[in-house]
Amino acid sequence: MRFVVVSDSHGDRDILVQLVAQYQDQPVTMLHCGDSELTTDDPLFNQMTVVQGNMDFNGQFPAQVVVPVANERIFLTHGHLYGVNGDLMRLLLAAQESQANLAFYGHTHQLACEMHEGVLLLNPGSIAQPRGQFRDLKGTYAVVDVTPDQYQIQYYNRRFEPVSQLHFTFKRA
């Protein structure tokens, strides 16, 4: 099972169009962690699940959703309501309360992935306005491959090229 996770596109609709086209013939679930700054009726969102970010001013997207896919449960949120700039404890607790084994979030514009108490917490970074150590990549998104035994995460740049040093594998509990 494969998930394509993007966040913080901040009005850059073209990169989302390209992203959808890149994966259109593959069996993937596409998820956007907020701050698209697009309207809810944008046809792009027929092809991906989207949540409300702090810069999505129309207030029409849900603040968080639980996405069940096969045997996986994904807690999808932007992160600003869970204090992700400070730590990930509130996000982890919300994911656990939702019985999710994956929690995807954005907001910080910095990519991150780590396992806590059997939950994969992942931020794809910002596809449009990256911050932090990897801002020179000009934007990132993540592809998460799930097998019964492990999670494999590969980060990609805006040219849809894998970033070799940003590949991670976690054993499932």
Task: Tell me the C-alpha distance between 120 and 117, whole Å.
Answer: 9
Strands (E) in 29-134, as ranges, are 29-32, 49-50, 64-69, 72-77, 102-104, 112-116, 119-123
**Residue where the block lists tokens 């069940």:** 68
Q: Is the pLDDT of residue 93 over 80?
A: yes
**What does the block give as tokens for 92?**
């982890």
Give the pLDDT of residue 88.
97
3-state secondary structure (DSSP) of residue 69: strand
Give the pLDDT of residue 48.
96
Q: What predicted TM-score, i.e. pTM, was given to this entire model?
A: 0.96
Task: State CA 41 to chain mean position distance.
Answer: 20
Task: Tell me the C-alpha distance between 45 and 43, whole Å.
Answer: 5
Q: 26-67, pLDDT tens digit by residue?
A: 999 999 999 999 999 999 999 999 999 999 987 789 999 999
Sequence-separated (6 or more) residues with CB below 8 Å from residue 166: 111, 134, 140, 154, 155
Task: Tell me the C-alpha distance between 171 and 159, whole Å.
Answer: 29
The domains found in the chain, sorted by start residue, are: 7-150+158-171 (3.60.21.10)
Nearest to 71 by CA among 95, 33, 101: 101
Give the pLDDT of residue 49.
97
Looking at the DSSP bridge assignments, the partners of residue 6 are 32
Sign of CA dihedral 70, 75, 4, 61: positive
Q: 115-148, pLDDT tens digit by residue?
A: 999 999 999 999 999 999 999 999 999 999 999 9
82-to-79, 87, 92, 124, 147 alpha-carbon distances in Å: 5, 9, 9, 17, 28
Alpha-carbon Rg for the chain, nearest whole angstrom, is 14
